[in-house]
Amino acid sequence: MGTPWTNWARTASANPHRVEHPTSLDGIAAAVSGASAVRPRGSGHSFTAIAVAPGVALDLDGWTGVVEVSGNLVTVRSGTPLRQLNALLDTLGLAMANLGDIDAQTIAGALSTGTHGTGAKLGGLATLVVALELVLADGSVARCSATERPDLFAAARVGLGALGVISTVTLRCVPSFVLHARETPGRLEEVLEEFDHWTSVEDHVEFHWFPHGDQVIVKRNNRVDEQPRPLSRFRHFYEYEVMENAAFGLVCRTARTFPPLTARLNRLCGSLISERVYSDVSHRVFVTPRRVRFVESEYAVPRESLHAVLTELRRAVASLHHGVIVPVEVRVAQGDDIWLSTAHGRDTAYIAVHQYLGMPHEQYFKTFEDIATAVGGRPHWGKIHTLTAADLEPRYPHFADFRRVRDAVDPTRKFTNAHLERVLG
């Protein structure tokens, strides 16, 4: 028998028939071919039920590490957490060109749900992939790239775990680099006026807006040719562990206990922002420790729609029946050609809304979803939304192509679950 499983945000749970922990390619193939229903579940950092296993759960925690290095091409086993991969690449003098701010996901899980960072001239993590190896429903192993089974490659780079079990990923990395980080307070209107300029001249730009006011934290990270000048150990501990985790966690628990204080506490948090300037190895700047649990919804909207969406969202927050304690996060990415990438075919702005775990979020998230979908927004595959396959198909020019490939490689739907039935049909 399997053991009960719950995702990080406690929004999905499962009690699979059994859990397999293969440690070899043959072991993965045997687990897949011997099951009538199987799901790889990664680290459980998605906010949806995408990783729920109705039959056999495949946990690849014993299938990690680098397999091969050829110049800047690195082949890595699919169960490798990003935290481990970043450290391994560092020892090789390499790095990923872009990252999100969470490093708990496995590389396969991050790719399969469309994980991204920020950068107007950079795509999501899936754009760094040059080849994939998958175990298909019949236990056979398929390799795909831009020239080898290109349709499978176009589908599987953001494949939702619906096509097979990724066994290895080959990434195009870059030489290790240092990022100069500057985090400053700002006002929403002023930041929006400058945002297009900043994203055109700086490498990585994002901002976090406290939605009951107009306070913003702006983060600008740029590559520099210099030695790292990180925060002192004490300053790092104080800023991230004390302020962003312990103190913010206390504020969130206070808001959950005394809901009428939420808007005031949100504004108070925004008023306490101070400047932070340092430089460090890239992954130490990209990644931020997140110990305060929350729920999240994120939509990818056309870049030109960002201002309108935030204007509508700002108006809507004022009429909610409850307050919002966690800031709204805004990032950008370059358009790509990956079939189910949320940035497919267009330069994209990502808007993510959050709420502290245990606080009401349904009205807020649905209001945000209505605003974002009105401009053609696409929901993040690993975050909360209510759309179905009928809603999603018009938003993805290759949705039917994806389903065609899925029919070919998994005709009996061995890899499905209730969530995939909703979003893929």
Contact 99, 286 (CB under 8 A): yes
The angle that helices 362-373 and 306-317 make with each other, rounded to 10 degrees, is 150
- The predicted pLDDT at position 238 comes to 86
Please state the length of the chain.
425
Residue 56 has pLDDT above 70, yes or no: yes
Residue 1 has pLDDT above 80, yes or no: no
Residue 2 has pLDDT above 70, yes or no: no
Residue 93 has pLDDT above 70, yes or no: yes
Global pTM value = 0.96
Residue 339 has pLDDT above 70, yes or no: yes
pLDDT in tens, 169-203: 999 999 999 999 999 999 999 999 999 999 999 99
Q: All domains of the chain, ordered by start, with CATH?
A: 178-379 (3.40.462.10)
Residues 310 and 304: their CA atoms lie apart, in Å, by: 12
Please compute the mean of the pLDDT values over residues 259-271 and round it to a whole number.
96
Q: Which two tokens stand for residue 328?
A: 């709204």
- The predicted pLDDT at position 30 comes to 97
Q: Is 307 exposed, middle or buried (0-12, 13-18, 19+ CB in 10 A)?
A: middle
The residue among 368, 279, 378 whose CA lies nearest residue 315 is: 368
- The predicted pLDDT at position 390 comes to 98
DSSP 232: P
Q: Cα angle at 315 between 309 and 319, to 5 degrees? A: 130
pLDDT in tens, 301-325: 999 999 999 999 999 999 999 999 9
- The predicted pLDDT at position 60 comes to 97
Residues 58 and 155: their CA atoms lie apart, in Å, by: 21
The residue among 206, 213, 161, 201 whose CA lies nearest residue 413 is: 161
Place of tokens 């709420």: 355
Place of tokens 């870059």: 174
- The predicted pLDDT at position 240 comes to 87
